[in-house]
Amino acid sequence: MITEGETTTSYPLSPRNRVKRLHERGSYDKATIHGLLDASMLCHVSYVVDGQPYCTPTFFWREENNLYWHGSSASRMLRNQSDGQRACLTVAHLDSLVLARCGFNHSADYRAVMAFGTAYLVTDAAEKERALVAMVDRFFPDRTATLRQSTVQEIKATSVIAMEIEQASAKIRSKGVADDDEDYELPIYAERIPVRTVLGAPEPCPRLLDGVERPASLRGYSEGRLLEDALRDAHFAHYAGG
Amino acid sequence: MITEGETTTSYPLSPRNRVKRLHERGSYDKATIHGLLDASMLCHVSYVVDGQPYCTPTFFWREENNLYWHGSSASRMLRNQSDGQRACLTVAHLDSLVLARCGFNHSADYRAVMAFGTAYLVTDAAEKERALVAMVDRFFPDRTATLRQSTVQEIKATSVIAMEIEQASAKIRSKGVADDDEDYELPIYAERIPVRTVLGAPEPCPRLLDGVERPASLRGYSEGRLLEDALRDAHFAHYAGG
């Protein structure tokens, strides 16, 4: 049973993050929520500017209860707001299309997380430096040490946004076709069509110098693998399971 | 050159939808924008409730300059607002991960659309009836005619949101590894990792009646095909290219 107030293993429940429809699909468990976040690279972040909501697709990563993402227009928005700005960061994994025996029961299997908090521009030099390493190494473990060092200008041109997760919820459907009992008697075709996001064969840059080989740290990114599995493994490798 | 004001083939340019960063990736062309929207089933919609932005993943479809999606919590929000609510609907296709020779040039190939407008609850009976058919048939052409008819209660329990696209922009990156000229001289590994969202083998409902076969209209949804190709074809079939 879910009760009000935060525990060490779940996010606090409030009217904001309470899963309102079909509540049997909802979860506030941190392990579930973190697992879905760590299996994603792409998120969508919502902000408000002058009453207009913006929904921006961007790359992000999680570090404990904090989410980080790139600046772009958000940084412009946040630059003059030292006290931060309300935001909602969402990830969604589409797992199947579900064709039922009536229109109402057509659906999809999916796993989604919505996380709420106050976004702020990372201005602390040490926090920003650490974030710029994680922005690469969380996806490609140990890669930063092999790269040409960032210039002062590049660091200045990159803005990092951070948000502590104040509330979050996961919503999961994974039951395929689920028709009304009496509809199973009807001669109507129904099916589940699985959907997967997979990696293709890596394409080495055609301008690699002779003798430069693919590092072993990238072996998790192999042809045919699920993107989410590669991302989850990389997160584990970088944060050592944290 | 893009000029102020709407034409028949592009959305009007304003501070809201102007692509602000890396503008060479931006497009306001309707054919480009519609093509990306029609290749998607999943979108993320942003709304504001009491100053808090919400980013909700949901299914949607396009009909000319209008976008439609499911109600859920949005309908509750909109029910008492006959004049509508500002919204932003975004779709993003992730095409690759790009590993460059410095952190700053790490990137991804992607195709994204942001569409802005005022969302309203579809209350007109004829418009809602048409939308409930399109909600299925836009994805699975001619399917509604084969299904058990919707009940009055089901129709009442389904809310449909619509939004005319007032402004929109597409942002596309498709260049793989793009390093600074001098960095190509460095012995650093770089690559592009393709990402694809594909269909698995359809799984017929285990409770199908004897003799019920998969309809020919679903043949576009075949194992190994790109989800986006199946969706684009289905949109074309339902709207006859409109």
Check CB contact of A227 with chain B, cutoff 8 Å.
yes
**Which residues of chain B lie closer than 8 angstroms to A119, CB-CB?**
none
What rounded mean pLDDT belongs to chain B?
90
pLDDT > 90: what percent of chain B? 76
Token couple for A172? 């999961």
Using alpha carbons only, what angle is made at residue A232 by residues A220 and A32, rounded to the nearest 5 degrees?
160
Residue B163 parent element (H or E): strand B160-164
Residue to test with chain A: of B43, B47, B99, B173, most A Cβ within 10 A: B99
**Domains present along chain A, CATH in parentheses:** 23-196 (2.30.110.10)
C-alpha torsion angle, residues B62, B68, B72, B76 (rounded to 10): 150
CA distance A152 to chain B (A): 11
CA distance B220 to chain A (A): 12
- pLDDT tens for residues B184-229? 999 999 999 999 999 999 999 999 999 999 999 999 999 999 999 9
CA distance B242 to chain A (A): 23
Phi, psi of B100 (to 5 degrees): -105, -170
Q: How many residues does chain A have?
A: 242
- pLDDT tens for residues B33-55? 999 999 999 999 999 988 889 99
Does residue B128 surpass a pLDDT of 60? yes
Q: Which residues contact B157 (CB under 8 A, 6 or more apart)?
A: A104
Indicate yes or no: CB of A46 within 8 angstroms of CB of B41.
Answer: no
Residue B157 parent element (H or E): helix B152-157
Token couple for B31? 């054919």
- Which residues of chain A are modeled with pLDDT < 50? 1-6, 22-24, 242
Show the beta-strand stretches assigned E in A100-157.
107-121
Of A56, A191, A197, the CB nearest to B204: A191
CA atoms within a 13 Å half-sphere pointing along the CA-CB vector of A223: 4
Indicate yes or no: CB of B215 within 8 angstroms of CB of A116.
Answer: no
- pLDDT tens for residues B136-193? 999 999 999 999 999 999 998 899 999 999 999 999 999 999 999 999 999 999 999 9
C-alpha A233/C-alpha A242 separation (Å) is 12
CA atoms within a 13 Å half-sphere pointing along the CA-CB vector of A9: 5
Check CB contact of A192 with chain B, cutoff 8 Å.
yes
Of A59, A151, A212, the CB nearest to B189: A212
Q: Of the candidates B222, B180, B172, B164, which has an alpha carbon nearest to the alpha carbon of residue B11?
A: B164
ipTM score assigned to the predicted complex: 0.90
A169 burial class (0-12, 13-18, 19+ CB within 10 angstroms)? buried
Using alpha carbons only, what angle is made at residue A163 by residues A121 and A73, rounded to the nearest 5 degrees?
45
Whether B228 contacts B197, CB under 8 Å? yes
Mark which residues 63-122 of A lie under 8 Å from B by CB.
Answer: 72-73, 76, 86-90, 92, 94, 96-97, 99, 101-104, 106, 108, 110, 112, 114, 116
How far from A78 is each of A48, A74, B107, CA to CA, in Å?
A: 11, 6, 23
